[in-house]
Amino acid sequence: MTRILTRALLVAAVLGSTVMAGCASSDGKMETTAHQPAAAHKPAASQPAATDQQTAGEAVDDAVVTAKVKAKLVDDEVTKAYQISVETFKGTVQLSGSVDSEEARSRATELARDVGGVKDVKNSLQVRN
Amino acid sequence: MHLKALCAVAAAAFLLTACSKKPESQAEVQHDVAKAEAEGQRDVADARADAQQANADADKQVADAIADQDEKDVAKEAHDANETFDKGKSKITIAQAEADHKVAVEKCEALTAPAQKECKDNADRALDQVKEAAKTYR
């Protein structure tokens, strides 16, 4: 009888420690999860930064595209009169500044789009009234 | 007098025979069309490769000018690179049109004389139109 009681106590002790260990590990997990957003946020935040990074080659290519778009705008009768700012990132050209007419605005897009190496054009040119 | 009339008749007969060219057989046409297609594709690929190389060279000149921080030179090289790009585009367009023309002309061979001539004239006109349009790229 004493043996049975001892065994029962032992089993209870093992079960109890297992449950405790389970709870402890579960707490640990909770903690990790609680920190998860911060931890997950970091890579998430750095993810776009990583894709936003430019290789040296891309930077040179973008500089070349910018120069070519500027040359195109200067060579054109409609757009040469304006100070149009040109920036390029990974082949996407951003035009900014101001022009006098919608025609000049759309002409600038058309010209930029026609330059070799240009993947996309974002036109932020303002039309002055 | 008789001799002159005889010569005129002979010349007319010769011209008539020469002009009324028989249509080629279906197999011949198919063979020639396939050949023209292959040649055309090769010509277009060559034009494209040449243009790519020319563009790469021109872009390198711009990059070198940027590295040298010579603004005037950058502007000049960028201008030249744009011209190179436009010329390349024009050459590719013309190569494609000439390839299409070759195929179209070979297909015309399947037709009988009057229709064949009209078919070839249409093909010529289409080519001329593309060539004219391609001039605006430059």
For the stretch A35-45, pLDDT in tens is 333 333 333 33
- Look at residue B11 and tell me whether its pLDDT is greater than 70: no
pTM, 2 dp: 0.68
Per-residue pLDDT band at B3 (split at 50, 70, 90): low
Number of DSSP helices (H) and strands (E) in chain A, helices first: 3, 3
Predicted local confidence at residue A37, as pLDDT: 34
Residue A31 has pLDDT above 50, yes or no: no
Reported as a single tens digit per residue, the pLDDT across A57-116 is 888 899 999 999 999 999 999 999 999 999 999 999 999 999 999 999 999 999 999 999
Which residue is closest to B59 within chain A, CA to CA? A64
Q: Name the residue type at position B72.
A: K
Q: What is the pLDDT of residue A42?
A: 34
User: In this predicted model, what pLDDT tens digit does every residue of A10-27 receive, in sequence order?
Assistant: 444 444 444 334 333 333
CA distance A96 to A84: 6
| CB of A70 less than 8 A from some CB of B | yes
Q: Which residues of A touch B82 (CB under 8 A)?
A: 68, 71-72, 75, 115-116
Chain A hits for B59, CB-CB cut-off 8 Å, are 61, 64, 116-117
How high is the pLDDT of residue A7?
56
* B94 band by pLDDT with thresholds 50, 70 and 90: very high
Give chain A positions within 8 Å (CB) of B75: 67, 70-71, 74
Angle at B102 (CA atoms; ends B105, B48), nearest 5 degrees: 160
Query: For residue B7, what pLDDT is reported?
Result: 58
d(CA B96, CA B102): 10
Cα B86 from Cα B55, distance rounded (Å): 10
Matching residue, tokens 């000018």: B65
Looking at this predicted complex, what is its ipTM? 0.73
Q: Which residue matches tokens 């002979």?
A: B10
Question: Which residues are CB-contacts of A24 (< 8 A; sequence separation ≥ 6)?
Answer: none
